[in-house]
Amino acid sequence: MSHLISVQESLERILTAFSPVETEAVPLREAYGRVLSRPVTAPFDFPPFTNSSMDGFAVIAADTLPASTDKPVWLRTVADIPAGSHFDGSIRPGEAARIMTGAPLPEGADAVVPVESTHIGARFDGSAMPEKVGILQPVSPGDNVRPRGQDVRAGAPVLSAGTALRPQDIGMLASLGFTSVEVHRLPRITVFSTGDELVQPGEDLTPGKIYDSNSYVLRGLTRQSGCQVIDLGLAKDDPDQVRALFEEAVRQQADLILSSAGVSVGAHDYVRQVIESEGELSLWRVNMRPGKPLTFGRYQNVPFLGLAGNPVSAFVGYQVFVLPVLQKLRGLPALQRRSVKAVTGEPIRTDGRESYLRARVTVEGGIYRAVLSGHQGSGNLFSLIQANALLIVPSGVKSLPIGAELVAWLLDE
Ligand code: AMP
Ligand code: MG
């Protein structure tokens, strides 16, 4: 039995071989999900001008001091300022301007009286501006006013490098007038499957054949992670076909060649042979279950990651090894897993390898509880689709009672 390498060590070794992909400028409209390669600072104050946060009347607060419902303070209206316009003049004592939310506060005014606190009542109904307005409640300087630069000041940091842009981030960039941003380009990931037993859904399932499912899973996960997927299809256990896929991946300028199966001591596994003819390859036995065999190497200059072939092994291998690589390629900081501490709802046994068990995690009264979602065989996709988490049993632990606390990686968004 050769040496088992730990999950941690294999992941560290893999990650050192990758760095973030180059950057490019993209129009703001296409920036969703892309990762900023440079920090963004505000080019101007936001809001860019002092404005009203209410529909009402811009006033000099001191004028309103004696106002009450019984004894309104009457002010002469000298301007009407809808949103999008502005008033060049100045408000003097005894005067007011009708103003709408978002309109610039006129010179001289220092507060806004909401329309509800005037003789007009509830709200404006499209009526013409009155000649004077009765103020029913005093306001203090600054009331219902959003000062220029309240949100961000010119030159202030707004978004840091390594941010995956969310809709609200893009909204902020738009409000600061950006038309494009500097981001990492999309990493290009080629995906293929190998095996004489594999056929595509739609083809006949003749004796001994199964449908290729790993490509579907790996393509979906890769897309979900924000990378570009290039589907290279299937290769038979045939050195020429396998070589043709690697050549195609190089032509496609892949940042990573991702595959499953076909790298073992199996008599018909040609992936190893092909890679070794044009690059280098390490075959690891990782101290984990499922997903023990893992291949990492390079075909010409393109990194290659070969996951174990069984469908759940490939899925778990993706979560453990591929996702952190893709995040790094995209320019994101080290992956923070979405995980919780969960209490087991049943006794658990493993063979002592670090185990990634398919489980359903529910939360009751603030406590996460995990139960296994079905048979844990590494070929059983059905128990994987019943699961919403991978429950992690550390290496060296072979049995756990009900109520033991484990880390669970949450799988669903
Ligand atoms: P291998 O690593 O080639 O020995 O494959 C291990 C197991 O995974 C075998 O039962 C294969 O039939 C199965 N397998 C390999 N590739 C795929 C695939 N793309 N889709 C579904 N099952 C696969
Ligand atoms: Mg095979």
Phi-psi region of 123 (alpha: psi -120 to 50; beta: other; left: phi over 0): beta
User: In the prediction, which pLDDT does 124 show?
Assistant: 82
Tens digit of each residue's pLDDT (9 = 90 or more) over 223-274: 999 999 999 999 999 999 999 999 999 999 999 999 999 776 666 778 888 9
Q: Are 96 and 76 in contact (CB under 8 A)?
A: yes
Q: Which uninterrupted H or E stretch holds 265? A: none
Instruction: Determine whether the shortest distance from the Cβ of 195 to ligand 1 is under 6 A.
Output: yes
Q: What's the mean per-residue pLDDT of the chain?
A: 96
Q: Are 390 and 339 in contact (CB under 8 A)?
A: no
Instruction: Determine whether the shortest distance from the Cβ of 198 to ligand 1 is under 6 A.
Output: yes
Tens digit of each residue's pLDDT (9 = 90 or more) over 96-147: 999 999 999 999 999 999 999 999 998 788 889 999 999 999 999 999 999 9
Closest ligand by atom to 198 CA: 1
- Measured from the Cα of 212, ligand 1's closest atom is 20
Instruction: Classify strands 180-184 and 23-27 as parallel, antiparallel or unpaired.
Output: antiparallel
User: In the prediction, which pLDDT does 20 show?
Assistant: 98
Cα-to-centroid distance, 244 and ligand 2 (Å): 17
DSSP track, 332-394: PPSP---EEEEEESS-EE--SSEEEEEEEEEEETTEEEEEE-S---TT-HHHHHH-SEEEEEP
Instruction: Determine whether the shortest distance from the Cβ of 266 to ligand 1 is under 6 A.
Output: yes
Cα-to-centroid distance, 193 and ligand 2 (Å): 9
Cα-to-centroid distance, 273 and ligand 2 (Å): 14
Cα-to-centroid distance, 207 and ligand 2 (Å): 16
Tell me how far apart the alpha carbons of residues 215 and 393 are, in angstroms, rounded to a whole number: 27
Instruction: Determine whether the shortest distance from the Cβ of 309 to ligand 1 is under 6 A.
Output: yes
- Measured from the Cα of 263, ligand 1's closest atom is 2
